[in-house]
Structures are given as C-alpha cells and as structure tokens.
Amino acid sequence: MYDLAKRRLKANFKQSLRYLSLVFNDFFVLALIFMLGALMFWYAQALKTMPVGQNLYKPLLAVLLWLPFLAGHFVTLFEPADEHFLLTQDRQLQSYLTPLFAYSMLLPTILLIAMGGILAPFALLKVQLPVVRYIGLLASIWILKIFQLSLQNKLLYFGWHCPLWVYNLLALATIILFTYNYALGISCFTVVLLLGVLGSRTVFNWSLVIETESKRKEGVYAFYSLFTDVDEKQIVIKRRKWLDFLLPKRLGWETPQSFLYRRTLLRNPEYLNLLVRMTAFAWLVSWLVQDYRWALGLSALVLILTLYQLRSLEHVFDYHLMYRVMPIDSAWQRRSLIRVLSLTLELQAVVIIIGWAIVLPKQTMLFLYMIFLLAITVFLVRIYLPLSLGGKHETQK
C-alpha cells in the first residue's frame, strides 16, 4: 500500500506539473507580476499612513493568518475502483495515507510562510507584536493545521468525531487569543489539539472517501480549466434562465453560428466562469491599487487576456460531425464570432467601469480613464480582433 501511494503521488505530481506549466504561461505570469507589484505598492503606502495599535488590528491579523489554515484538504488520491479492489486492505490503509498526509501539508505550509512574510511588517510595526510571539503564532497555526488534517483523516472512518467546521472556528478563536494574551492562547490551543485527536478509527467509509476525493479533484480541475483544456474535468452544460436576457429577442439578429456561440458562452461553465473571474479580478486589483493609471493598465490587460482565451471559441465545434458537414461560409462564421466576442468584451468593459465607480475615488479624472478603457475595448474588438481572425483564415486557406 505504501508503494501504491508513492506511485500515485508520482503520477499526480506529473499531472500537476503539466497543467501548472500551462497555467503559468507568459500572459498569466505578466498579469501576476503586475498584480503583485500593485499590491505591494498599495501595501507599502498604506503602512505609512496607518496609525499604530488600533483595536481592530489584532482580529484582522488573526483572520488573515487563518486563511492559509483553511487552504488544503487531506489528499487521498483514491479512485472509484478502489472501493472494490482495496476493500480487503483496510488494515494497511494507514501505510497508504502516511505519505499522502505529508503531501497534504505542502500547500498550507507554503501559503502560511508567504502570508506570514507579507504580514510581518504589519504585525511587528502596527500591531506591535514581539518577534518571538509572532513566530510562535505562525508555528501554532502550522501545528493546528497538522491536527486538522489528522481530524480529516479520522473522518474517513465510521464513527462520531468533532465536526470540521467546529475545529476551524475554534482554531480561529485560538489565533485571536494568541494575539491578545499568550497564556489564553496556549490554553485554547491545548483544547483544540485535544479535539483533533478525539475518536478512534473503526471501519473505513469508502463511499464518503471516494466522493470527497472526487469533489477535491473537480475543484483542482476547475482551477486549471480557467487557463487550459482539462481532459479529466467533467463539463456540465446547462441552461441558465437568469442569463436569457443577454440573448437577442429578434431572430433577425441571429445567424446559426452566432446562435451557437452565444449559448456556448452562457451555458458552458468554462467560458462563463472565465468571464466572471476575470471581471472580478479586474475589480479586485482596481480596489487594491486605488490609482487610475494602474487600474486602467491592469483592466486593459484583463480584457486582452479574456479575448485571448475566448479565441478558442472559434474551434469549439470543430469536432461535431453535424457542424462539419453543414455548408458553412468561413466569412460568415468569422463575422458571427467577431460580433459575439465584441459584445462580450464590451459588456465586460462596462461591468469593470461600474466597478470603478464603486471602488475608486470619485474624481473628474475617473471619467476620463473610463473613456480610455472604452477606447481600448473598441480598438481590441473593432480593429485587432478582425485583423487577427482574418489573417488566420487567410493562412488556413
């Protein structure tokens, strides 16, 4: 069983490495650099103006450090067939789960170190925690995470255990107490650790384990699918009635291709999630930087990345036999795609501008930068997109 766990970890690592190399492509790395630069700039400026020792700082620090604690679940890498072929190996399951336990701690540890380093100036200068106490706080959160995964391991078996959400809330209370009083924090820390070791292992709950692991994998694949096609992801295409108002009411506005493209955008979760998350990302970075120039540059980059990834819509029906046998004029298909993508990006730009009106300071210059963003959008959809698609079609001919 130990060798089986090692083989599955190796296969999972190769799969993750393959997808991560596609996720962190040139465009995303560039966007990430801009985002981190904007965040660090805002953070440095905010630290200069923040007063020292406010009452709200300690709970805020505790909640921010609690977020890495929530990240990462116990990874089992079980497959549906294991319920039948490994049913007789219940007594050896701990030898299988031991290396997976260490693997499950990898992501929370990295996130905790990163968050702890970022928040160190705030904790030491504004919250005024001693260095030793801050390091002890980070170490305590790491230990709490170990016991949380231990609790998740026990929840794989039948029998009563402490609910995970109770443990997570008690862990947050412990972190808050640590920021106020070291003795109270240690007392609550001890109680929470005891909850993590409650319960004994009885019979392995195969159905629950496989269902939990399937949901975890779907979450990981959903992240990868934002940037590339994921063969392992199960795509569920369904109608969303609340989005029907985005479809034209008059048939004269539709062509067969635009009919398909519009409904694919609204009903395929890959494209819809991409639009929602990229727009939310533009709102987030605009709120963080609080600067019109940075907001314009980053939002324009979001529009470019969105257009780049939506270009795959051109070939979404290439493998449908009935679509291939239809007498489709390539120029007609190109015009339909341009029309649908143009309306999509223009709508996204309008939503981003609405977000600016909410999160950015209300000044006269804001309206000027809104016009700049609309001008960039018009250039992308009216000039760049037709030229790029036209050149591609000419090459194919």
Q: What is the pLDDT of residue 248?
A: 66
Residue with tokens 């979001």: 302
Residue type, 383: I
- β-partners of residue 157 are 204
> Token pair for residue 348?
């996204």
CA 306/CA 365 separation, integer angstroms: 26
Closest alpha carbon to 304 in 199, 380, 389, 220: 380
Q: How confident is the model at residue 396 (pLDDT cuts 50, 70, 90)?
A: very low
Q: How confident is the model at residue 114 (pLDDT cuts 50, 70, 90)?
A: very high
Please state, in angstroms and as integers, the Cα–Cα distance from residue 234 to each residue in 11, 95, 284, 309, following that order.
20, 31, 29, 20
Cβ burial, residue 21 (10 Å; 0-12/13-18/19+): exposed
Q: How confident is the model at residue 327 (pLDDT cuts 50, 70, 90)?
A: low
> Token pair for residue 104?
């499950």
- The C-alpha angle 287, 291, 297, rounded to 5 degrees, equals 90
Q: What is the mean pLDDT of residues 387-392?
A: 66
Taking the domains of the chain in order of start, what are their residue ranges? Answer: 2-224, 241-396
Which range (93-107, 147-161, 190-204, 349-363) has the least confidence?
190-204
Helix, coil or strand: residue 157: strand
CA 373/CA 394 separation, integer angstroms: 30
Q: Does residue 101 contact residue 214 with C-beta atoms inside 8 Å?
A: no
Average per-residue pLDDT in the chain? 81
CA 140/CA 146 separation, integer angstroms: 10
Q: What is the pLDDT of residue 246?
A: 63
Q: What is the mean pLDDT of residues 341-356?
A: 87
